[in-house]
Structure 1
Amino acid sequence: MSGFAWLLTRWLYSASSLLFLCMVGREMGLRVIQATLCSQWGRQRNEGVFQDGDVVIGGLFNLHYIPSAIDQDFTQPPLYKPCTGLEIFSLQSVYAMMFSLEEINHNTNLLPGVKLGYRILDSCDGQSVPLVIGGASSTTSKIISKFLEPLSVPVISYFASCPCLSDRQKFTNFFRTMPSDVYQARAMAQLAIRFHWTWVGAVIVNNDYGQLGIKTFEEEIQGKGVCLDFVETVRRETIVRDARRVALTIQASTAKVIIIFCWHTDIRRIFLELDKRNITDRQFVASEAWSTSEDLLQNVALSEVASGVLGVAIRSSAIPGFENYLRSLHPSHRPHDEFLREFWEKQFGGTESLDDLQHVLTDTSQLRVTYNVYLAVYAAAHALHSLLSCPERPSNNNGSTCSSPQHVSLSELMRHLNNVNFTTPQGEMFYFQGADIPAKYDIVNWQKTPEGSLKLVLIGRVDGFDLQLNQSAIQWSTGSTKVPISVCSESCPPGTRKANRKGQPDCCFDCIACAEGEISNATGSVHCERCPLEFWSNDKRTACIPRELDFLSFNETLGITLTTVAVSGAVTTTAVFVVFLRYRQTPMVRANNSELSFVLLVSLKLCFLCSLVFIGRPSLWSCRFQQAAFGISFVLCVSCLLVKTIVVLAAFRSARPGAEALIRWFGPSQQRGSVCFLTCIQITICAIWLSFSPPEPHRDLGFQGSKVTLECAMTSVVGFALILGYIGLLACICLLLAFLGRKLPGNFNEAKLITFSMLIFCAVWVAFVPAYVSSPGKYTVAVEIFSILASSYGLLLCIFAPKCFIILLRPEKNTKKHMMAR
């Protein structure tokens, strides 16, 4: 027979032997069941503790344990040892059931006139199954519940925690005073979230307890910033090999917090392996299966590894009078108590007393499973009380019938269990929510004692979803009161954001600095937030600050440079004006229409000075004045050049026969009138533009930066285009005419100078358009000022520099004879 087949056969035999308690039937009206099953399985071994009563409640407890199987190689059937060893905590639970039943029998308000009896048996060797109180494990509870379900026999378990047993459709007759494992897994997840443990490992036993526990844990941490680095499973059959593997995984992991859903026997082996490798810096979070294990707490060899364990434990509560009851136990007083006799023989072997003895059995400081048994008995008693009190109440309309102690209706008993609601002797409200009771747990901490062992310290409680902790009382695995850090990546500081690493969990990330104009003002930000338009990020990218107003100022380097150049141009123009004024009677000044020259110098000075209007903080009036001053000054300047060019051409044309009248038609009056007319056109354009759609101060938020550009916005581009277009038209005409007259005879031909100046002028303003459009912020204004200054200097130098050179440095050429020579 293969190993698997042998295991299956063994299981089926054990399961079948756990089906029903043949002894417990007469008082509960189960004669048919008793007869059928006892005849089928034969006479049961009469082991246990019995007490007759009007209503007998059965109890099933694991008083002896089955040792773990050794590692299997699956080449032969596994070796299982028989039941051995007496479980002291289970024995304490047995006496908790007896004590509570005796307490109820002496209570005149609860089940008056009805005596409760009991049948309590050991479930290790599989000879019996409880009628009401029992199911010391989830597996046993499932089998008992499913078998008794057709008979409507209620089962109240004190230790079955599988979430599957909460399914009312599958287990209609099942109740328990032990919370579902769902709630302990949620509590463990709450601890990880509360202490910001974002990177944890997990070790689970390879059965429903471990698998469902870690599944619930993962569901609870979903989206809460907690990730699992690893999940290792262990089997009881291969625990030695599995423990070594788990220890190596924990050693290699960067997770400092380990969640464990296992039995205490498995944990002992794992801790021994960790101790061999001197791994003592891990913080363990324990499930209720091992969080209160005395075997581990008292093991000095494990104290370094296990110190600081934080565990979810079955809630504990005091049972008044129970300790005295335990200390009064003695085989001489209870000759039929086989369990007590076995305990006495192993512990004493004589007539000693428990009165003054410190023993685990009499220690009632941490009643956990024992208190669950106590609650189960009281729940059964209150349901029976409600059922048996039926004649005292008005008849109901749901067709239910009343029961007597001799004929208890099992279906009615189960209905009353569903509706049970009472206050325990400790003042606690008790009721069932389906199969379950409201989940309550203790949060315990393993702390070192001077003797080297560990003690259990209560540091918090869980009530449903409410987690209450005394954090200052926790002693962590590190030995300090500072919460251990367990993260894959350190939290990103303000000013940065998380950037997930490819192929890794969300808890593993890099911290990327926020871009300009974006901030994160909290630790661990996932995204950087963009600042409002009026604001910009500070240097640390942690706050949005108002953006600084930016404009071409007189105080900055660019503003100072342009101002200096403009003032220098105006001063130079004034100097030329003075020179021409002083030498106004010389042939050089008189020969080239001195009046237009003076007007041209004035217009050039205005051109230099108008550039200063563009510098400084824009205002309503400066925005309107700057473009008008620019447009009018340049039109006046170009008009003078155009008229001077026409005068040159007319003078040479008049020398031809029949053309004498030409110069008379273009005399000084006509020249002045032409300049005024051409300038008035520009003045009209500016007046119309400024009347209907003038430039206004505007904050330019489009240029992303720490500054807001304050500029004069063109509300109408058409007006500005007309101003530039008109200047360009006059300049082109002037360039064309000057180009035609560049080869006219004479020692000094002003047409050549005008040609050069107009070439520079047109080149500057043709380049101005693309530069103006593409320049950002205040540099738009700088481009326009540069164009004004460049074209003004071009006109000043090309036209007046040669004349000033002759006037000041070559006075011998400043004669009529020289001017007239060819």
Structure 2
Amino acid sequence: MAILSAPLAAQYRHYRCFRLLLWQVAALSFLLALTATSGDLVFQPVGDRSGNSSKKSLVATIKGQIILGGLFPVHDKGEKMCGRINLDRGIERLEAMLYTIDEINANGKILPGIRLGASVLDTCGRAPYALEQSLEFIRASFTSLDPTEFVCTDGSEAKPKSAPTTVVGVVGGSYSTVSIQVANLLRLFKIPQISYASTSASLSDKQRYDYFIRTVPPDTLQAKALVDIVQEFNWTYVSIVHSEGEYGESGIDFFKHEAKAKNICIAASKEISLRATNATYDDVIKELLDKPEARVVIVFVRSEDATGLLNAASRKGLAGKFVWVASDGWGNRLAPVKNNPLVAQGAITLELQSTAISGFENYFLNLNPRSNHRNPWFVEYWEEEHKCTWNGVSVPTSPAEVNFLTRRRACKGNERINRKITSQENKVQFIYDAVYAFAHALHDMQQDVCVGGKGLCTAMTNIDGETLLRNYLLNVSFNGK
């Protein structure tokens, strides 16, 4: 039998330890492949929003003893990776989560002696990018599955350069396509997930998405409401347009089923691709024009597609041509109608009933880049909102923006966030409810397992996701604002 020298033996032991770490990484890649069920999922290395893998992903954080993860569409979906900052739904939704955690931490009656923290990531409205970002949430869970795998044969431990953040649950995502892919990943590590906006009926399948819950109703109810509207106006011949993906497809399928039962005929049915361009929207408008008798158009699309559709109608000068009846993907958002007031006139849109959080309104309107350091995207939001550059430096998101940026004035820092058509983003309440659901569930757990019901006891230092979900989250109740 060959005898290794001491230096070679040490190298061999470290080699074996290194191989164990490589196995962990390979297993992560395999799990990602299992969750990648959509043809749109082409994985890039995790990096900044431009796809540069040499930069660490940005994260909004609140330090705490128990950490909640968050997923928000801070940026719009771009052609290849991430697009412009999402003024309508990105920053305000993210800040709603941070505000709610602040409020909980200031309340001595909820989780006494425990500070709740946050680790919030940008999804860019893309399932593959969101899935990559979500690796940050499961890295700690993965490495803790079997600690003995990290002990080398010489008795030393393989320690990471920085400890991954352990999250007990995730608030998000926004789009149903994002939530479905993330749910497939989180369930493998028993991490509960509460969405504040994903309404796809598919997510109601508890066999497939057993760690997913939400604070919003499924699309089946929206589809019924759309049919009721059509019936109320005695419209019997309509066209329909929906976005590719779970949100648009499941919603419009249920609408068709209900419409058939109510003798409503479908003149044209058009799907908008996830990779839609101006030409795509122009083609949709052309097909709608081919059915001139069907002036009513049922629109079950994402906000970006609603904007593209109305832009295309404006290019054709089709003011007053169609009556749009749209789901909450359009809802009361400014973006679709901002540059298209004439073609959008007379539209009927659905919006989920929600209550404005009064404390958040004061909080959000008084945010300032000088003091808001925990949100790494806030300066970018401020620049876009006020059309200025912070500290004389701004990074263009596209070549066409370079010349525009040179004409921007310098931000003074005393600009105000002005409300436009709506007073508060409509999903703020549902984010507020999701964070409070986690907080109350954790509080109930604390009262059960910690002696005296105060502080972070040993029993809560490594919280089991299944116990948190089954015994507490699914049984939680509280009075909201």
TM-score with structure 1 length normalisation?
0.42
For residues 100 and 312 of structure 1, do their structure 2 counterparts lie closer, same or farther at Cα, with a shift above 3 Å needed? same
Supply the distance in 2 between the matched residues of 1:363 and 1:112 (Cα, whole angstroms): 40
Q: What letter corresponds to residue 255 of structure 1 in structure 2?
A: A
The residue that corresponds to 2:326 in the other structure is 286
Secondary structure of 2:358's match? coil
The CA deviation at 1:177 is 1.8
Native 8 Å contact 1:387 1:412 kept in 2: no
Query: Is residue 11 of structure 1 aligned with residue 41 of structure 2?
Result: yes
Supply the distance in 2 between the matched residues of 1:113 and 1:353 (Cα, whole angstroms): 36
Native 8 Å contact 1:157 1:175 kept in 2: yes
For residues 408 and 254 of structure 1, do their structure 2 counterparts lie closer, same or farther at Cα, with a shift above 3 Å needed? same
2:237 to 191, 199, 211: 199
Supply the distance in 2 between the matched residues of 1:96 and 1:123 (Cα, whole angstroms): 16
Secondary structure of 2:70's match? strand
Supply the distance in 2 between the matched residues of 1:117 and 1:364 (Cα, whole angstroms): 30
Supply the distance in 2 between the matched residues of 1:363 and 1:240 (Cα, whole angstroms): 26
Query: Is residue 258 of structure 1 aligned with residue 288 of structure 2?
Result: no
Supply the distance in 2 between the matched residues of 1:330 and 1:419 (Cα, whole angstroms): 38
The CA deviation at 1:91 is 0.7
Secondary structure of 1:313's match? coil
Query: Is residue 366 of structure 1 aligned with residue 424 of structure 2?
Result: yes
Native 8 Å contact 2:310 2:337 kept in 1: no
Native 8 Å contact 1:54 1:116 kept in 2: yes
Secondary structure of 1:142's match? helix
* CA offsets 1:138-167 (integer angstroms, 9 cap, x no match): 222222222221322101122222211110
The CA deviation at 1:318 is 0.9
Query: Is residue 59 of structure 1 aligned with residue 38 of structure 2?
Result: no
Supply the distance in 2 between the matched residues of 1:46 and 1:205 (Cα, whole angstroms): 29
1:751-790 counterparts in 2 under 5 A? none
Q: Percent of pairs identical after alignment? A: 28
Supply the distance in 2 between the matched residues of 1:87 and 1:273 (Cα, whole angstroms): 21
* CA offsets 1:538-566 (integer angstroms, 9 cap, x no match): xxxxxxxxxxxxxxxxxxxxxxxxxxxxx
Q: CA RMSD in A?
A: 3.1
For residues 266 and 330 of structure 1, do their structure 2 counterparts lie closer, same or farther at Cα, with a shift above 3 Å needed? closer
1:162 to 200, 203, 217: 200
Supply the distance in 1 between the matched residues of 2:111 and 2:412 (Cα, whole angstroms): 37
Query: Is residue 111 of structure 1 aligned with residue 151 of structure 2?
Result: no
Secondary structure of 1:371's match? helix
Supply the distance in 2 between the matched residues of 1:47 and 1:242 (Cα, whole angstroms): 33
Where does the alignment leave 5 or more consecutive residues of structure 1 unmatched?
Answer: 1-7, 19-41, 69-79, 395-401, 427-822
Native 8 Å contact 2:215 2:430 kept in 1: yes
The residue that corresponds to 1:409 in the other structure is 464
Query: Is residue 298 of structure 1 aligned with residue 354 of structure 2?
Result: no
Query: Is residue 128 of structure 1 aligned with residue 133 of structure 2?
Result: yes
* CA offsets 1:744-799 (integer angstroms, 9 cap, x no match): xxxxxxxxxxxxxxxxxxxxxxxxxxxxxxxxxxxxxxxxxxxxxxxxxxxxxxxx
For residues 110 and 363 of structure 1, do their structure 2 counterparts lie closer, same or farther at Cα, with a shift above 3 Å needed? farther
Higher relative contact order, structure no. (Cα contacts within 8 Å, ≥ 6 residues apart): 2
The residue that corresponds to 2:175 in the other structure is 137
Native 8 Å contact 1:203 1:260 kept in 2: yes
The residue that corresponds to 1:547 in the other structure is none
Supply the distance in 2 between the matched residues of 1:233 and 1:243 (Cα, whole angstroms): 10
The CA deviation at 1:370 is 2.4
Q: What letter corresponds to residue 259 of structure 1 in structure 2?
A: I
Native 8 Å contact 1:136 1:157 kept in 2: yes
The CA deviation at 1:84 is 3.5
- Number of equivalent positions: 372
Q: What letter corresponds to residue 287 of structure 1 in structure 2?
A: S
Native 8 Å contact 1:146 1:171 kept in 2: yes
Q: What letter corresponds to residue 291 of structure 1 in structure 2?
A: G
* CA offsets 1:374-429 (integer angstroms, 9 cap, x no match): 111111111111111114899xxxxxxx97442323221111111112110x2xxx
Q: What letter corresponds to residue 407 of structure 1 in structure 2?
A: N
For residues 107 and 224 of structure 1, do their structure 2 counterparts lie closer, same or farther at Cα, with a shift above 3 Å needed? same
For residues 177 and 248 of structure 1, do their structure 2 counterparts lie closer, same or farther at Cα, with a shift above 3 Å needed? same
The residue that corresponds to 2:478 in the other structure is 422
1:377 to 435, 446, 449: 435
Supply the distance in 2 between the matched residues of 1:337 and 1:277 (Cα, whole angstroms): 41
The residue that corresponds to 2:84 in the other structure is 85
Q: What letter corresponds to residue 419 of structure 1 in structure 2?
A: N
Supply the distance in 2 between the matched residues of 1:44 and 1:389 (Cα, whole angstroms): 42
Supply the distance in 2 between the matched residues of 1:375 and 1:229 (Cα, whole angstroms): 40
The CA deviation at 1:312 is 1.0
TM-score with structure 2 length normalisation?
0.69
For residues 413 and 332 of structure 1, do their structure 2 counterparts lie closer, same or farther at Cα, with a shift above 3 Å needed? same
The CA deviation at 1:222 is 3.2
Q: What letter corresponds to residue 338 of structure 1 in structure 2?
A: P
The residue that corresponds to 1:726 in the other structure is none
Where does the alignment leave 5 or more consecutive residues of structure 2 unmatched?
Answer: 1-37, 48-52, 138-168, 392-410
For residues 385 and 44 of structure 1, do their structure 2 counterparts lie closer, same or farther at Cα, with a shift above 3 Å needed? farther
The CA deviation at 1:97 is 0.6
Supply the distance in 2 between the matched residues of 1:364 and 1:278 (Cα, whole angstroms): 26
Native 8 Å contact 2:68 2:117 kept in 1: yes
Secondary structure of 1:230's match? strand
